[in-house]
């Protein structure tokens, strides 16, 4: 099964926005693109909102049927490992093998030696076409890379083998993710990680490295844009090299996780993939949930009341809600408005504070990040929350569509 050249990962915490999300893709594809939607949900999200992997398949199929979408689409078992994959097997056809926790785990000296020996040809100045400087490969570097990544790639191979037996090799797309770690992988590390995956027969179609800089949830990228641009382009060229050198799938591409809202790097990525005629997968998850809260606020009345209640609850439980996301949010507590203040806000003021329009005088990224991690609060509200999503489906859906199309796809694909 082959993923298309351009694909976007869509997350939908409460399974109400599949059609609105797909409308955004359809709109983008009307200008000649062929973007594949991939509905993704991780085990952690399923636990928080009490949903089941089969629900994501149902939602995706229903959205596709409703809009008569004829392109390819997928359902991604996001960030699974051997202990969490089982419930996803029947209904997912895209699997993100998360091996980050195996990075740095010890491998046997025999395995390390065998890997280093298999790289003899690459020792010295390794020239990757398109990269202006040689990658300096030494025996020492190879040993370092092996001790860091061999166990992780072995784990990827084990999960892949399990899935191959369960589903058949032709029936799913394989992504390997290493993004949820502290230090970014360098292009030369990526090159040898891909060699390891190729050696072990993992037909990886997308790989999610940890990039340089911060990818905080729901807000823009922070980091050195020049450095990001350099690394991103080198990564793309490394992928190309690995296809030719190691026989990886020709369509292999980078997957950018926590990819929603990273507006300042979208033009950089767009330029690089255009320049090298490459594909891209951008994974988003929580940005749609934020649009639900914005939509409820815009709807006014009981919608606005509930949006304010969600904020009040979130502020009261800030530490608990932020704890699991400590590495991927940066909230300045002194910039969070009080509950009393927020309760006095109009629909517009609430929506403008939450909506991601950099430079808008009301936009508050601290407020936004807190709501981002607070979907558990809405999950606990149960039907009180989802019945308002139904009641204001038109307003909320319009917000979801506008966010994906206008703020994301237009910037990513130069529309």
* Interacting residues with Zn ion (CB under 5 A): 179, 257
Burial of residue 21 (CB within 10 Å: 0-12, 13-18, 19+) is buried
Rounded Cα distance, 202 and 247, in Å: 11
Nearer to Zn ion, 45 or 292 (CB): 45
Least distance CB 175 / Zn ion (angstroms)? 10
Nearer to Zn ion, 125 or 327 (CB): 327
Nearer to Zn ion, 98 or 234 (CB): 98
Least distance CB 203 / Zn ion (angstroms)? 20
Nearer to Zn ion, 179 or 292 (CB): 179
Rounded Cα distance, 245 and 238, in Å: 10
Nearer to Zn ion, 46 or 355 (CB): 46
Nearer to Zn ion, 23 or 262 (CB): 262
Nearer to Zn ion, 63 or 207 (CB): 207
Residues in the chain: 415
Least distance CB 366 / Zn ion (angstroms)? 23
Least distance CB 353 / Zn ion (angstroms)? 27
**Residues sharing a CB contact under 8 Å with residue 31, sequence separation 6 or more, in sequence order:** 415
- In what helix (H) or strand (E) does residue 193 lie, and over which residues does it extend? helix 187-199
Least distance CB 32 / Zn ion (angstroms)? 30
Question: What is the number of other CB atoms lying within 10 angstroms of the CB of residue 134?
Answer: 11
- In what helix (H) or strand (E) does residue 393 lie, and over which residues does it extend? helix 393-402
Nearer to Zn ion, 47 or 274 (CB): 47
Rounded Cα distance, 398 and 392, in Å: 10
Phi, psi of 61 (to 5 degrees): -60, -40
Which residue's Cβ has the minimum distance to Zn ion? 257
CA angle 387, 375, 46 (to 5 degrees): 90
Rounded Cα distance, 106 and 129, in Å: 33
Least distance CB 94 / Zn ion (angstroms)? 13
Cβ atoms of 81 and 98 closer than 8 Å: yes
Rounded Cα distance, 366 and 337, in Å: 9
Cβ atoms of 211 and 184 closer than 8 Å: yes
Least distance CB 9 / Zn ion (angstroms)? 9
Least distance CB 285 / Zn ion (angstroms)? 8
Phi, psi of 410 (to 5 degrees): -60, -40
């Amino acid at each position: 099964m082959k993923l298309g050249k351009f694909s976007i990962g869509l997350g939908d915490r409460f399974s109400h926005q599949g059609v609105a999300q797909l409308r955004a893709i359809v709109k983008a594809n009307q200008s000649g693109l062929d973007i594949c939607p991939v509905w993704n949900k991780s085990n952690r999200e399923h636990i928080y909102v009490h949903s089941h992997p089969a629900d994501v398949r149902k939602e995706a199929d229903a959205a596709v049927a409703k809009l008569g979408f004829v392109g390819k689409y997928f359902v991604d078992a996001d960030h699974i490992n051997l202990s969490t994959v089982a419930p996803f097997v029947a209904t997912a056809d895209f699997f993100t093998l998360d091996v980050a926790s195996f990075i740095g785990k010890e491998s046997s000296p025999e395995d390390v030696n065998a890997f280093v020996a298999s790289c003899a040809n690459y020792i010295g100045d390794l020239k990757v076409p398109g990269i202006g400087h040689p990658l300096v490969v030494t025996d020492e570097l190879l040993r370092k890379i092996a001790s860091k990544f061999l166990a992780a790639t072995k784990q990827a191979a084990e999960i892949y083998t399990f899935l191959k037996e369960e589903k058949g090799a032709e029936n799913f797309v394989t992504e390997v993710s290493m993004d949820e770690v502290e230090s970014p992988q360098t292009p030369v590390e990526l090159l040898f990680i891909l060699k390891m995956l190729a050696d072990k027969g993992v037909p990886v179609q997308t790989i999610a490295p940890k990039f340089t800089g911060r990818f905080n949830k729901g807000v823009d990228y922070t980091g050195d844009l020049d450095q990001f641009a350099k690394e991103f382009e080198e990564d793309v060229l490394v992928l190309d090299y690995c296809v030719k050198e190691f026989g990886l799938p020709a369509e292999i591409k980078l997957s950018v996780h926590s990819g929603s809202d990273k507006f300042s790097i979208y033009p950089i990525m767009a330029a690089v993939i255009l320049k090298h005629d490459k594909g891209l997968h951008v994974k988003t998850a929580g940005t749609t949930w934020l649009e639900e809260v914005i939509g409820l606020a815009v709807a006014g009345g009981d919608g606005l009341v509930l949006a304010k209640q969600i904020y009040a609850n979130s502020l009261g439980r800030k530490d608990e809600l932020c704890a699991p996301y400590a590495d991927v949010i940066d909230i300045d507590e002194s910039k969070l408005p009080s509950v009393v203040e927020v309760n006095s806000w109009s629909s517009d003021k609430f929506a403008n504070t939450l909506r991601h329009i950099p430079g808008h005088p009301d936009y508050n990224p601290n407020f936004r990040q807190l709501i981002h991690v607070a979907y558990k609060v809405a999950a606990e509200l149960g039907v009180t929350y989802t019945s308002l999503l139904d009641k204001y489906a038109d307003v909320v859906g319009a917000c979801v569509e506008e966010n994906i199309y206008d703020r994301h796809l237009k910037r990513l694909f130069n529309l």
